């Protein structure tokens, strides 16, 4: 096999007759600077010791020039060498063109997936506006949702655009406008009912329970109830016991209702759009402390699955299940745990009813340990239901009992220090994981 030598040439001073060997589209070899490969076919033995970088002799020749040997065999070798140059240059050109083409395709694709940055409450508004633009049966009703734009400005700017009939300000009567929204859904509209605070929706519990969740069944399937009930909730910043309600545990026992909780601008918009398009009644829980959370989301339309959990952080040692605001307490604790040598897997369950047991089960089968972190009350909360579901379906895969960290069963205090004391904090999560993984 021919040996290959590489040289870096300056102006070639070859005595080879270049007039006999050139391409019409190229300058003569002797008039241009080239980097070329010389192929030698004289079967000379190669000294292995010269193959290393820095080797000397004629294995690596700097400023190499092609010369015309006296023998015919050498002449043949020189011609083969120049043929090798042409093949080498052609291959390099094709490689460069291929790389350039790939780069342009990637840049074009990157430019197509444009994104924009917005806050969580703005993402909810964007989802509302897109669905109102898409479907004229979508309407909003609630206290101050119209010209004031909602208590947290989720519906700001929609009343001037779509009119007072589609963005309807209501009296302070949750039972009345919730019942009205359910009736509108029965007649083919898709209402979004906003509670100024989720705690106020307790005044409409009869309508939500006896009408919203059951009418599809009690009517023998004659009526669909495509209604979305949404609003701010959770423990805020010294809002007092009445305005710090976590109603997930209240509504989870109502048959026929789906429940989801958003935690980022991306999933807030995607879940809002999915809830509006669903033919089932959906309660969307929004945390009051997450409205100003900022994130970059895609410009193009997307809709999320109402029954799908989100894998926030893959891991191997323990599965941490959480949702809403506690997602950020968990991720804060995860940084500490990683520094201590633990590898937690974090899942935002998002769907509070029904649970995504497929995603949860796959994680349990991998880690064999489960920690649930919630802001809901411990007694009868989401964590209690989730613990029961995991024990019923995946008990054989558990190497330790499930641990659930929940808020204390007390009214939320107004004093800031006491308020924090009632809610799960990152150090508690770290300690629980260390205990689980012993």
Residues serving a catalytic function are 174, 243
Give CA torsion, residues 374, 376, 377, 383, to 10 deg.
-50
β 228-233/190-194 pair status: parallel
Q: Can you tell me which residue has the tokens 């770290």?
A: 430
**Structure-token pair, residue 278:** 């669903």
The token pair at 180 is 């009205």
The dihedrals phi and psi of 90, each to the nearest 5 degrees, come to -65, -45
CA torsion sign, 231 to 234 to 235 to 237? Answer: negative
Q: Kindly give the pairing relationship between strand 344-348 and strand 294-298.
A: unpaired
Alpha-carbon distance of 74 to 289, in angstroms, equals: 83
């Amino acid at each position: 096999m021919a040996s290959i030598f590489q040289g870096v040439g300056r102006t070639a001073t070859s005595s080879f007759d270049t007039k006999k060997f050139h391409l019409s589209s190229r300058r003569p070899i002797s008039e241009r600077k080239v980097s070329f490969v010389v192929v030698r076919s004289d079967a000379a033995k190669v000294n292995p010791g010269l193959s290393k970088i820095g080797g000397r002799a004629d294995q690596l020749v700097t400023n190499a020039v092609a010369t015309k040997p006296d023998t015919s065999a050498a002449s043949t070798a020189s011609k083969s060498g120049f043929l090798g140059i042409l093949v080498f240059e052609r291959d390099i050109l094709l490689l460069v063109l291929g790389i350039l083409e790939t780069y342009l395709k990637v840049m074009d694709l990157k430019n197509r997936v444009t994104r924009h940055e917005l806050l969580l409450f703005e993402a909810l508004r964007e989802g509302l506006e897109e669905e109102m633009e898409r479907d004229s049966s979508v309407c909003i009703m609630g206290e101050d949702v119209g010209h004031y734009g909602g208590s947290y400005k989720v519906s700001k700017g929609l009343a001037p655009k779509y009119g007072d009939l589609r963005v309807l300000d209501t009296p302070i009567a949750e039972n009345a406008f919730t019942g009205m929204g359910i009736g509108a859904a029965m007649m083919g509209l898709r209402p979004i009912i906003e509670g100024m605070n989720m705690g106020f929706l307790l005044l409409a519990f009869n309508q939500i329970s006896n009408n919203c969740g059951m009418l599809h069944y009690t009517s023998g399937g004659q009526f669909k109830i495509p209604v979305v009930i949404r609003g701010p909730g959770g423990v805020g910043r010294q809002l007092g016991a009445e305005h710090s309600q976590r109603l997930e545990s209240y509504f989870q026992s109502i048959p026929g209702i789906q429940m989801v909780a958003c935690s980022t601008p991306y999933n807030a918009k995607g879940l809002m759009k999915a809830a509006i398009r669903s033919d089932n009644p959906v309660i969307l829980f929004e945390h009051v402390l997450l409205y100003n959370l900022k994130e970059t989301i895609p410009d193009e339309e997307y809709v999320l699955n109402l029954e799908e959990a989100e894998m926030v952080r893959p891991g191997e040692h323990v599965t941490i299940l959480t949702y809403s605001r506690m997602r950020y307490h968990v991720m804060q604790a995860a940084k500490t745990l990683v520094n201590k040598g633990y590898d937690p897997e974090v899942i935002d369950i998002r769907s509070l009813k029904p649970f995504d047991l497929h995603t949860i089960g796959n994680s349990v089968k991998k880690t064999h340990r489960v920690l649930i972190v919630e802001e809901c009350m411990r007694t009868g909360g989401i964590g209690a239901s989730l613990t029961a579901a995991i024990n019923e379906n995946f008990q054989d895969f558990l190497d330790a009992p499930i641990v659930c960290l929940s808020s204390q069963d007390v009214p939320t205090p107004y004093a800031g220090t006491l308020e924090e004391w009632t809610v799960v904090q990152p150090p508690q999560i770290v300690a629980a994981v260390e205990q689980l993984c012993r």
